[in-house]
Amino acid sequence: MMKRLVTIVCFFIAISISIQKSFGQKEVADSLFKTLKTSIPDSTRAKNLVTLSEVAGWRVGKYDTALILANEAKKLSEKINFKSGIANSYNNIANVYYFQENYKEALKNYSLALAIYQEIGSKKGIANTNNNVANIQANLGNYNEALKAYFSALKIFEERGDKKLIAAMYDNICMIYEYQKNYEEAINYCNKALTLQKAVNDKSGIEYSYFNIGRIYSEQKNYTKALEYDSLALILTIELDDKVGSGNIYNNVGNIYSNTGNYDKALEAYLKAKNIYESVDYQRGLMYLYNNIGTIYTKQRKVRDASLLLQKSLTMAQESADKFQIQLSYLSLAKLDSVTGNYKSAFNNYKLYTIYKDSLINEENTKATVQTQMQYEFDKKQTADSLKAEDVRILNNLKFEQEKKQRWFLYSGLALVVLFAGFLFNRFKITQKQNIIITEQKHVVEEKHKEITDSINYAERIQRSLLASSELLDNNLNEYFVFFKPKDIVSGDFYWASNLSNKNFALIAADSTGHGVPGAIMSILNTACLNEAVKEGYTKPNEILDRTREKIISVLKRDGSVEGGKDGMDCSLLVFTPTNQQEEKNYMKLYVACANNPVWIVRASALENTSFERKDGFFEIHPDKMPVGKHDKQNEPFTLHEIDLQKGDLVYTMTDGYPDQFGGPKGKKFMTKNLRELLIKNAHLPMSDQKQLLKQTFSNWTGNLEQVDDVTVIGIKI
């Protein structure tokens, strides 16, 4: 799970190797600061400012200082039209944003630097910048773009004959193939890197290659080999005092023990990694580590600890736009929800995991990766040919000699072509017959699909006929809206209304177990049980829900399961009582019973206060924490709430579909708090406008993501 940790290490590989460190960075910085106080040429001053922004800035974590110095270097370089200085300044600015994980600004500045490097023909600058861009694309999950940039950098380093940097690019390319699960190519490139690193005694590079190979063997479940290479890498991290590298290896070892079921050993390794990451404030490493430890706690059923760490990992991943970790976090949360029996949340989290997973690894992406490598090999060959003109001349001579032989082969081949054409014609006839069969099968499938769709559409009409009709609502309510948006054609959500035997008016917003066809069937059962309770003469909302629960449990005992069905509904049931029976819509008394879903009331007298922060302006009727269905609290009666209403009050009831919808810029839930603020802020609007606002806000928030649940929000103005 922690393999993405290593991408940030790649940032230093191309840059660090090319910098000669004859003495420490502090001494370099002190020396350069002294030169700025002397009279030196502007170009030299600009170069020194660029170097200072690195050694006294982003390399030591002083990002504000780095930006100030880099911008000063850029201004001075622009003043004297010093192109190299401008490009290097943009590059340092981009480096700062890279470490702050502001990838948008980093890519913008790398692009500006790259354009100038290309203009002045600085191949070293082009290669290093391509490497940095590739690291960002890898972090964002854009593997094809990352591979293109790595191969571009590799081509230049091969032309320059720089073995350390060639090895570094091999390691980076190995990493991308690993993400694509092409382990054979990944091991191939890692071994290429290791061979070069040993040849030039690059211990840092050797450590990195050992670590990569160990991780790949771990993913292939060859844990003996994985631990062998991790041990070799760990020895070098201690020798080189590479704390982040040590943390990465302990994290990898923890993964191995976790995969083999040795959770105590896994936690021991993870906690060592955690201590190291915290000592150097390595947030990306901690993001992956929280997910790993949370997964162990899930297996050990330490639910609270697991939930805290997994949510923390997801939040960090969303803030850094790390698609890879986002999908892992959703998968881990789905597993935790399954352990706790929260199957609805588990289903939603698994769907989000699938969405992110499919966006990272898909057939087109894999094909594009292969094409990129082929293009690289072709470009490399073309370059080699252009550098070997004499070889080209020899090849042309050989080609001339071979043409004689080719003529003879041509005539012989023509005879074979005729025979082969006959074979192809025969195969063509067979293929035609197969295509006819396939077409017929496709037609059958399409017909079956149409039948199923028509059946579901018919079921939707049946279900809609059971919802509260507009005529019934218009006859009993003054102003109101119903925002009802099923996830699928049919819905587990429903809204129901009825005139009671005591002339009161009942209205319910309910969320049945499940959605789609199963949810719709459950909603029909729930509606039938509500109707029976009302026909039996129950008029108080708590009593109606108690009786409905009894009927649902009784019916579902016969579902064939050992314990009997645990399905039912969450809902809020409102019963409006007019103060004067002659004025049926003049409701001044409200009785409420709630099962897991709250009811909100916005006081009319508070609408003049635009802040809507007054405690007397908003009321929440808290629900009983149990469903209308089988539950460990099924013998407890529902609570009856009695509220005195005022003219102009607004009453809102809803299911959990709206606040649970994922979307927005970071793919997070809309949240109950935001829905409440949206309704309060716009309570002064006409009810029709409120409905339109809810609809538009939901659409904007969801964007390109899939709707995860049925949605119902009802508003009533007294």
For residue range 108-130, list pLDDT tens digits in order.
999 999 999 999 999 989 999 99
* Whether residues 574 and 711 fall in one domain: yes
The pLDDT value given to residue 380: 55
Give the pLDDT confidence of 300-339 residue by residue, as tens digits: 889 999 999 999 999 998 887 778 889 889 999 989 988 8
Last-in-domain residue among 436, 462, 488: 462
Q: Which of 346-350, 407-411, 609-613, 645-649 has the lowest mean pLDDT?
A: 609-613
The pLDDT value given to residue 614: 42
Total number of domains in the chain: 2
| Residue 488 domain-assigned (yes or no) | yes
**CATH number, residue 545:** 3.60.40.10
Structural domain span for residue 428: 390-462
pLDDT above 60 (res 9) = no
198 burial (CB, 10 Å; 0-12 / 13-18 / 19+) is middle
The pLDDT value given to residue 613: 42
Give the pLDDT confidence of 587-631 residue by residue, as tens digits: 778 999 999 999 999 987 655 443 334 455 888 999 999 999 999
Whole-structure pTM value: 0.43
Question: Which is it for strands 668-669 and 662-663: parallel, antiparallel or unpaired?
Answer: antiparallel
| Residue 384 domain-assigned (yes or no) | no
Last-in-domain residue among 462, 480, 509: 462
Name the percent of the chain in helix, strand, coil, to the closest 5: 65, 10, 25
* Whether residues 599 and 694 fall in one domain: yes
| Residue 644 domain-assigned (yes or no) | yes
* Whether residues 433 and 485 fall in one domain: no
| Residue 86 domain-assigned (yes or no) | no
* Whether residues 457 and 477 fall in one domain: no
The CA distance from 492 to 514, in Å, is 6
Tell me the DSSP string of 178-211: HHTT-HHHHHHHHHHHHHHHHHTT-HHHHHHHHH
| Residue 475 domain-assigned (yes or no) | yes
pLDDT above 80 (res 32) = no
Q: Which of 10-19, 123-132, 266-275, 387-396 has the lowest mean pLDDT?
A: 10-19
* Whether residues 446 and 566 fall in one domain: no
Q: Which amino acid is at 320?
A: S
* Whether residues 594 and 570 fall in one domain: yes
The pLDDT value given to residue 33: 56
Position 663 confidence tier, pLDDT thresholds 50, 70, 90: very high
Position 419 confidence tier, pLDDT thresholds 50, 70, 90: low
Last-in-domain residue among 409, 436, 462: 462
* Whether residues 696 and 603 fall in one domain: yes
* Whether residues 579 and 629 fall in one domain: yes
* Whether residues 395 and 510 fall in one domain: no
| Residue 512 domain-assigned (yes or no) | yes
Give the pLDDT confidence of 627-662 residue by residue, as tens digits: 999 999 999 999 999 999 888 899 999 999 999 999
| Residue 84 domain-assigned (yes or no) | no
The H or E element spanning position 413 is: helix 389-466
pLDDT above 60 (res 17) = no
CA atoms within 13 A on the CB side of 557: 6
Q: What value does the mean pLDDT take over residues 284-308?
A: 91
Q: What value does the mean pLDDT take over residues 556-579?
A: 79
* Whether residues 405 and 485 fall in one domain: no
Average pLDDT, the chain: 82
Angle, in degrees to the nearest 10, between helices 389-466 and 363-386: 170
| Residue 37 domain-assigned (yes or no) | no
The CA distance from 459 to 429, in Å, is 45
* Whether residues 664 and 519 fall in one domain: yes
Give the pLDDT confidence of 43-52 residue by residue, as tens digits: 888 888 888 8
* Whether residues 504 and 635 fall in one domain: yes
pLDDT above 50 (res 13) = no
Sign for the CA dihedral angle at 650, 497, 474, 501 comes to negative
